[in-house]
Every structure is written in C-alpha cells, then in structure tokens.
Amino acid sequence: RQRQMCIRDSAWPGDAVGVLQDPPCALFVQGALPAPGLATAGIVGTRDATPYGSAFARRLGADLAAAGVWVVSGFALGIDGAAHEGCATAGGPTLAVLGCGVDHPYPTAHLDLRDDLLAAGGGLVSEHPPGVEPRKHHFPRRNRLVAALIQALVVVEAPERSGALITARLALDLGRDILAVPGNVGQRARAGCHRLLREGAALCESAADVLHAIGIDAADGPGLLLRAEPTGEAGLVWRALDAAEGVDSGALCIRTGLAPEVIAAALVELELAGRAKRTLTGAFLRT
C-alpha cells in the first residue's frame, strides 16, 4: 500500500534528506523506510554489468543484509538489481529509490524483484507522485536521494561516463564514505571504479570493508552469509560440484540443466563466497 509523507510526519527521514540543498517536499513510499539510527549503505553501478560484477553486488548485498545493514540502490537493471536481489534473497531489507512513481512497473524485468523486496521488509520510495513515468532527467534527482539516504556508497562497476559516478560525487559532497571495487585493467565497466580509487576512494573487497566504513565491527553483527549454504542457481551449481574431483563448466551444464552464462555467473558468486575454488586445469571444486 502506497502512502505519502511530508516533513510534518514523524517518520520523515529529515536527518538524511535535510542535508540536501533541494530536499523533496514529499516522499511516496511503498513498504518500509530505514528507521533513524539504522546502518545504511548504497550499492550502485552500471546497467551493463558483467557476470562478475553482478555476482559481487549480489553477494555484497546479502552479506550486508546479514549484518543488519539496509542496502539502498536505484532499482535499475544490472548492479542495482543484483544488490537488491542479494538482500531480498538473504531475507534482509533493502530500499529502492525510483525515478518514477512507486506504482509504475519500471523496469518491467524487476516485477518479481519488487515483490521479493517488499516481502523481505524493504521498501520503494520516490519523490514523484503515483502515475509518473520514468524520464531521463528524473534519474540524477533520484541519485541525490540515494546519496542522502546512506552512510557509505560502494561503486561496483562503472564506466567513465556513468550515473553511478554522479551518485558518488553527490555522496562525497554530502560527506559520505566512498568505496570502489577494483577489476581488470582496461575493462570498460571498471574504468570509473579505478578512477575513484585513484582519487582516494576506499578499496572494497568484501562486506567487511563497508562495515568498517560505517563504523560496525563485523564480529558484532549477526554474521555474514559466507558460511551459509548457497541458494538459488548458485546453490544448484554448488551441489553439483565435488569436493575431491574438479568439475568443468560443461559438465555443470549437463548436471544442472542451466545455461553456460548462468553457470559462469554462479561460479563467480561461489568463488567470491569462498564456496568453490578453481583448479589449475580450470575445473572447480566445492569448498
């Protein structure tokens, strides 16, 4: 159910959006917003995400959710969606900041994710009234809300010209901590992250780096999901692996019935989580 909030409402996130030079006069919300005092972190990146970037964002979202952190992102395809998906899969709340009305089914590929996000206790928020369709000029304004609602921002993948870098600049102007995920030199999707690192952004290799940035000791939280049994497609691949004998991607396709690109993304996610390792022959072992 949608509701409208204004500055007079007790749940108005004034401490967050009040720092903006042009704060919204109203917010339209479906689901929940982070309560004052709760830890928040943004995860953003390109819509044209690589399998590695999507897997990293999904794992990072799940681990932060497990540590009690609200993950905020822009609900776009690619990195944003993967981060929201990771949180929802882990049963943790995540906030999607939209560039359209909260009732508008955009992007259509995220209709199921919208339901999962709300079922996990998260929320959708927009400064646009119901019925407003997405417009190009809405997204920079959405980015400033993402920047305002977080304590730290992680850029997972971003080319040199990217909305994620706009969000990073806005977050830096608001005094938020900026982290970036490194990647292959020369890879277009990583150029923006490497630029941020050269300019002083902190290195992000895991959720522990984000928790440190927002002042949380990882040992004090409910624990990261690195020890949990993998779920979804990654879980299917993990159970198809052997702990003693390496299994190549072709055999995994046969054992699971999954497409090669799905296998590749799942293997990256499992490697990041420490649940699979690559042998010298290129096959994979369950760990």
pLDDT > 70 in the chain, percent: 95
Q: Verify cis geometry, omega within 30 degrees of 0, for the bond prior to 51.
A: no
Q: Which residue has the higher pLDDT, 152 or 9?
A: 152
User: Given this model, what pLDDT does residue 117 score?
Assistant: 95
Task: Give the pair of three-digit tokens for residue 52.
Answer: 């590695």
- Residue 285 DSSP label: E
User: Given this model, what pLDDT does residue 230 score?
Assistant: 74
- Please say whether the beta carbons of 103 and 130 come within 8 A: yes
pLDDT interval class at 219 (50, 70, 90): low
User: Given this model, what pLDDT does residue 225 score?
Assistant: 39
Query: pLDDT tens digits, residue range 154-209?
Result: 999 999 888 899 999 999 999 999 999 998 777 777 799 999 999 999 999 999 99
- CA–CA dist 175, 129 (Å, integer): 29
pLDDT interval class at 218 (50, 70, 90): low
Query: pLDDT tens digits, residue range 90-138?
Result: 899 999 999 999 999 899 999 999 999 999 999 999 999 999 999 988 9
Q: Structure pTM? A: 0.79
Phi and psi torsions of 72, nearest 5° = -115, 135
- CA–CA dist 161, 272 (Å, integer): 27
User: Given this model, what pLDDT does residue 228 score?
Assistant: 54
Name the least confident of 41-45, 59-63, 80-84, 187-191.
187-191
| pLDDT surpasses 80 at 221 | no
Identify which of 49, 14, 30 has the alpha carbon closest to the alpha carbon of residue 193: 49
Averaged pLDDT, 244-258: 90
Helix (H, G, I), strand (E, B) or coil at 83: helix
